[in-house]
Amino acid sequence: MNEVKYKIGIDIGGTNIKMGVVNDKNEIIAKKSIKTDVKLGYIKIIKNMANAIKELLYLHKIDLNNCISIGIGCPGTVNFKTGEILFAANLLWEGVPLAEELKKNIDLPIKVSNDANCAALGEAIAGGAKGVHNMVLITLGTGVGGGVIIDGKIYEGGSPGGVELGHTVLVVDGEQCTCGRKGCFEAYASATALIRDTKRAAEKNPNSLINELCSKNLSKINGLTPFEAARLGDEEGIAIIDRYIMHLAEGIIDIVNIFRPEKILLSGGIANQGDALIEPLKKYVKKYTFAGDKIHVADIKQATLGNDAGIIGAANL
């Protein structure tokens, strides 16, 4: 009888490290999460990660000999050839030999890629773009990240640092971006940008419903506040959402014009707005994409796997 061969997927985040055992049908059959204690330093963090994997396997009676590989999705800039993390700001990591260090603890083949790349691969294998060979995932969170899948594989670029979809400029000399440049896609389409614009609008127009929704405490404004205001017919809310969708659409059109993917998936809290976000977005993208009236324009949908995307994608590196 053939033993099922398992793959291990790990998704490192600034708060938690999530790991899972994935079977040959790309189902997660066992999962575990540990806290990322950044203060411990990378050697201890990686050691804890290895111990957590061993515990998980033991708990589910899975023999390490039946596992064929480990894949890791990590935030920051990754050298996918060597498995080194060049830098990851939220982990305070610089030049961390992640694959090499983990291999000292668990002797399996180990591959590493950026976390957004892994999420894109996971969605293409088992999620909202299942069976689609050319797709792009855009994550709308604190920043704007993403992954590009070409012919079923992550597009890594020729050297580390590629596919920073959030740091393409939409507005020359526009809003300040965290990367040092001004006017990046991220500085307009992230949740952070949406909150910034909502706060500004609330300050400028104290009669706006936004001020009521946050009980006149602007620090309570989150990414959902302007959507809620717009839904209730508030003019300021509607204007913020219209502008947000315009910027998001313009960024997506650039991506479509370059890659012409079959599908675009959106993930992150803002993507949960569903049709209120996606329907007007689709219309705008279709209208302004190059030859959008003649050639197929990528369908835009919400990603479906949530946190599992990163684990499944990493396991398939």
Q: Select from 8, 70, 119, 177 the one that contacts Zn ion (CB under 5 A).
A: 177
- Residue 187 or 214 having the CB closest to Zn ion: 187
Q: Select from 179, 232, 258, 291 the one that contacts Zn ion (CB under 5 A).
A: 179
Cα–Cα distance measured from residue 314 to residue 90, given in angstroms and rounded to the nearest whole number: 19
Q: How is residue 296 annotated by DSSP?
A: -
Cα–Cα distance measured from residue 63 to residue 227, given in angstroms and rounded to the nearest whole number: 49
Residue 75 in contact with residue 91, Cβ under 8 Å? Answer: yes
- Which listed range, 176-184, 189-197, 245-253, 269-277, lies at the site for Zn ion (CB under 5 A)? 176-184
By CB under 5 A, tell whether 163 contacts Zn ion. no
Residues paired with residue 213 on neighbouring β-strands, in sequence order: none
Cα–Cα distance measured from residue 154 to residue 253, given in angstroms and rounded to the nearest whole number: 20
- Residue 41 or 157 having the CB closest to Zn ion: 157
- Residue 181 or 286 having the CB closest to Zn ion: 181
Q: b/e per residue, 154-182, with b = 16+ CB within 10 A?
A: bbbeeebeebbbbbbbbeeeebebeeebe
Cα–Cα distance measured from residue 144 to residue 188, given in angstroms and rounded to the nearest whole number: 9
Q: Mask: binding to Zn ion, 113-152, rule CB under 5 A, as x and -?
A: ----------------------------------------
Strands 67-74 and 28-35: unpaired
Minimum Å gap between C-beta 269 and Zn ion is: 20
- Which listed range, 130-138, 183-191, 212-220, 250-258, lies at the site for Zn ion (CB under 5 A)? 183-191
Query: What sign for the dihedral angle of Cα 14, 88, 56, 314?
Result: positive
By CB under 5 A, tell whether 89 contacts Zn ion. no
Q: Select from 67, 184, 241, 285 the one that contacts Zn ion (CB under 5 A).
A: 184
By CB under 5 A, tell whether 167 contacts Zn ion. yes
Minimum Å gap between C-beta 136 and Zn ion is: 18
Q: Tokens 């009521």 appear where?
A: 212
Interface residues toward Zn ion, by CB under 5 A: 167, 177, 179, 181, 184
